[in-house]
Structure 1
Amino acid sequence: MNVYRYIPGTESAVTRHWPGLFQEWSQGPTPFTEYAVNNNNMEKMAVYLGLAWRLTAGLARYSIPTYYRDDAAEALGREPVLVAWEYEIEAEDPHTVLDNGFVPGRSTADGHTPKSWENANRAGLFELSAPRDLVRLLRAVLLDATAEISLFGVAPGADRQTDLVASLCDSARPSLPSVLRDEDVFVDLTIGSDVGYYDAITVASPTDLQLRIDALAIDYATRIEAYQNSLDDLSDMTAFLRAIRELAGITLDAA
């Protein structure tokens, strides 16, 4: 299994920021509704989202939003497949992460009904059809001290989906080698929003992704430089959203 990590610590992928992030926003599309960008996590969120989506290009995408399963279901407008396991990365050190692997699922189920008692310790696996779905999941989990989303890119088709669900429902604790096959790609986004929590991106695949990751790193370095050089020209929200789309490198409603 090939595993790659991005651990920025106290650094940020984007170092210059649009002043409008710290101003009052009107109704309509905003940085947060469109790219989960706010005045805490900033424009790096667009880079993370774009990277995760592009790394899983050509694959069917399924995601587990840690803990906030029901909030994610409301954001997407559909129920997930309930599974027993979710992935956990702890990023409480600026220089390293604690990779706990698959851990028992958990959720915010309120426990008012027997059904919610039964499913409180289940994670939710959502199928994603476009980048906007990933944004909605991230928005559902982001307003906490730390947030995490795991993305599985697997071969398209009902059989592979069934196998993925089965591996995440197994009574025995799964591992990435037991879950991923062939050219599957796993991406975990861990986002620190409070003091003492940090960002981390973990990528894993049976296939060597080094060349793809290197190419994407170069592409995003170019996009970040272009974005930062354009900041003085971003006079309103429309201009900013156009610039952030270029920074992300993805179209929200495209498959």
Structure 2
Amino acid sequence: MHPLRFQATQTQGVNVYRYLPGSEIAVTQHWPGLFQEWASAATPYTEYAVNNNNMEEMAVYLGLAWRLTAGLARYAIPSYYRDDAAEALGREPALIDWEYEIEAEEPRAARDHGFVPGRSTVDWRKPESRENAHRARLFELSTPRDLVGLLHAVLLEATAEVTLFGVAPGADRQADLIASLRGSVRPGLRSILREADVFVDLTIGCDVDSYDAITVASVADLQARIDTLAIDYARRIEAYENNGAALTDMAAFLHALRDLAGITLDVA
């Protein structure tokens, strides 16, 4: 059993934990059905953003991000494909000027660029889209299915990225977070995060020479919590791989993905 290994560092008063699997992805035994036609309405992709390229590890990432932000209000920035994300979630986000950027173009390394000016696709048929071409979007998330929707929106490039903020519930904290991501002054994690907040960035490699990277940051020390979750996911992965022969149909596989993720999609 090999738990997910996070590298821990501290930068400007913020604890940063980073998982860089390279080519050694978390799940190594894959369901053969991922490489077949899917006839059912509920599929690995609709439910967990799992396909035959970004495979069962996506369920692990989804569950890990959601569980790390448990008890907090969740807001997320989908990189670039803001209009697709709004359509997927069926709600309007807040306009912001900054988004987070991590490059993972080497197997065991990542370039953390911090907050960078927002950028997005533009629907030239819509005046509001044209007018805000250089702004990013911040979405409030209610359940893990919302996070899956954002992943659907961004899994269109060589690299996909969703940045998740877990902050104290309440309208005042929401307004403060939005304000901190607006304006001409580049923000930093220390200026945004409060003591109980948790930041999670999911960078997903979708093409050759693009790799996955999970970045977690907090003012508080999260080492014990991350270690506990990493060991739990190692156990879940082991149980999933040992049960592979029993996954004879789509329903069984989706049930196994739920156990692998450790969350229920429609429960906050």
TM-score, length-normalised on structure 2? 0.94
Q: Is the 8 A contact 1:111 1:120 kept in 2?
A: no
Matches within 5 A, 1:141-152: 141-152=154-165
AA matched with 2:237:
I
Instruction: Return the match for 2:25 from 3, 8, 12.
Output: 12
What's 2:226 paired with?
213
Secondary structure, counterpart of 1:116 in structure 2: helix
Alpha-carbon deviation of 1:3?
Answer: 0.3
What's 1:70 paired with?
83
What's 1:164 paired with?
177
What's 1:140 paired with?
153
Q: Is the 8 A contact 1:107 1:120 kept in 2?
A: yes
Question: Hey, what's the Cα distance between the residues in 1 that align with 2:153 and 2:201?
Answer: 16
1:10-37 CA-partner distances (Å, limit 9, x unpaired): 1110000000000100031000000000
What's 1:130 paired with?
143
Alpha-carbon deviation of 1:192?
Answer: 0.3
* Aligned sequence identity (%): 75
Alpha-carbon deviation of 1:143?
Answer: 2.4
* Alignment of 1:230 onto 2:230: no
Alpha-carbon deviation of 1:111?
Answer: 3.3
What's 2:200 paired with?
187
Instruction: Return the match for 1:105 from 118, 130, 153.
Output: 118
1:21-55 CA-partner distances (Å, limit 9, x unpaired): 00100031000000000000100000000000000
* Alignment of 1:155 onto 2:168: yes
Matches within 5 A, 1:58-97: 58-97=71-110
AA matched with 2:238:
E
* Alignment of 1:248 onto 2:240: no
AA matched with 1:5:
R
Secondary structure, counterpart of 1:39 in structure 2: coil
Secondary structure, counterpart of 1:49 in structure 2: helix
TM-score, length-normalised on structure 1? 0.98
**Which 5+ residue runs of structure 2 have no aligned equivalent?**
1-13
Alpha-carbon deviation of 1:113?
Answer: 4.8
Alpha-carbon deviation of 1:183?
Answer: 0.8
Secondary structure, counterpart of 1:181 in structure 2: coil
Question: Hey, what's the Cα distance between the residues in 2 that align with 1:115 and 1:164?
Answer: 23
What's 2:4 paired with?
none
What's 2:9 paired with?
none
Alpha-carbon deviation of 1:109?
Answer: 1.1
Alpha-carbon deviation of 1:114?
Answer: 4.2
- RMSD after superposition: 0.8
1:102-159 CA-partner distances (Å, limit 9, x unpaired): 0000110133454323201110100000000000100111122110000000000000
